[in-house]
Chains A and B, each alone.
Chain A
């Protein structure tokens, strides 16, 4: 699993946020476009692309994209 690929797929979910804003240490919940619906989309993307079932608690417990990536990686 590659972090850059994960960031890419993560960024694709968003419509208005500039691609450059998505970095490994981006605190995604601080993005203007972040919402509870975005959280559902992230969970669905991870299910589709990585076959890993995240729960709301995983999103809650992660601040940066890297932290979320590590959770997904640990469950592969």
Chain B
């Protein structure tokens, strides 16, 4: 059957696969025929994602991406990849008067530094094949301002910037690099924010589509960027935000 969006015969590494967008991406990729290599730092939850994958040939690697040795091991254990979804991320809500170095250290470590080092490691170890595609999970936070969100936004704009540089430096391979920029998504990360249910409901009304995204709606955009359908797309930032930045 003709389907340029298929992931048949593609091996895809997904970080942050134990929940949220990462879990949904692993599940949807597996449904479209990919062999998934999933990674996360919580064994139980990662295993839960693993059990939700369709088809066979998948694997899981436990890793804490804030530990450089774990990144190195992940790079070694990873098979040669056709796709890499660099998705693991954390957030915090801190108004500027209360920003601490430790908040920045933990967010930049997971959201920015780990993606850079892991990407470099996979490239150096020749784990990203010719014609492979890398997708970073950034955020509309990289271009919008919400009170308390400065650190998260800085980490997410940094990773989108890195993506564009990768796109340029590896275009000759070719390896494609793009970022996805979701608005708010119904995940645990959103549930754990300090905002009340009423505040989140009011926030949804700012979205022209009047709701937040489901995780798999972000996964579908990631899949487009992984698939051959986006063969001429590199260095781009794809918004999936229900129109909230209009």
Enumerate chain A interface residues (CB-CB to B < 8 A).
13, 36-37, 40-41, 43-45, 47-48, 53-57, 59-60
A37 vs B146: C-alpha distance when bound (angstroms): 10
Question: Cβ of B199 and Cβ of A40 under 8 Å apart?
Answer: no
A58 CB, min distance to chain B CBs, angstroms: 9
User: A41 to chain B: which residues have CB within 8 Å?
Assistant: 95, 97-98
A22 vs B16: C-alpha distance when bound (angstroms): 45
User: B148 to chain A: which residues have CB within 8 Å?
Assistant: 37, 40, 44
A-B contact count (CB 8 A): 40
- 11 more CB-based (< 8 A) A-B contacts, given A53-B194, A54-B194, A56-B198: A36-B199, A37-B95, A40-B94, A41-B95, A43-B93, A44-B97, A44-B98, A44-B148, A55-B196, A57-B196, A57-B197
Name the contact of B95 in the complex, choosing from A44, A57, A59 (C-beta under 8 A): A44
Name the contact of A60 in the complex, choosing from B94, B95, B97, B198 (C-beta under 8 A): B198
Question: Cβ of A36 and Cβ of B147 under 8 Å apart?
Answer: yes
A60 vs B194: C-alpha distance when bound (angstroms): 12
Question: Cβ of A56 and Cβ of B98 under 8 Å apart?
Answer: no
User: B93 to chain A: which residues have CB within 8 Å?
Assistant: 40, 43
Q: Is B165 an interface residue (CB 8 A)?
A: no
Given contacts A45-B98, A48-B98, contact A40 B147 (CB under 8 A): yes
Sampled A-B contacts (30; CB under 8 Å):
A13-B97, A36-B147, A36-B199, A37-B95, A37-B147, A40-B93, A40-B95, A40-B194, A41-B95, A41-B97, A43-B93, A43-B194, A44-B94, A44-B97, A44-B98, A44-B148, A45-B98, A47-B98, A48-B98, A53-B194, A54-B194, A55-B194, A55-B195, A55-B196, A56-B194, A56-B195, A56-B199, A59-B196, A60-B196, A60-B198
User: B147 to chain A: which residues have CB within 8 Å?
Assistant: 36-37, 40
A57 vs B93: C-alpha distance when bound (angstroms): 15
User: A40 to chain B: which residues have CB within 8 Å?
Assistant: 93-95, 147-148, 194
User: In residues 173-220 of chain B, which contact A (Cβ within 8 Å)?
Assistant: 194-199
A65 vs B98: C-alpha distance when bound (angstroms): 20
A43 vs B98: C-alpha distance when bound (angstroms): 10
A57 vs B196: C-alpha distance when bound (angstroms): 5
A74 vs B157: C-alpha distance when bound (angstroms): 39
| For the complex of A and B, 3 pairs with smallest distance between CB atoms | A56-B196, A44-B98, A57-B196
A51 CB, min distance to chain B CBs, angstroms: 13
Residue among A40, A47, A54, A57 having the largest count of chain B Cβ atoms under 10 Å: A40
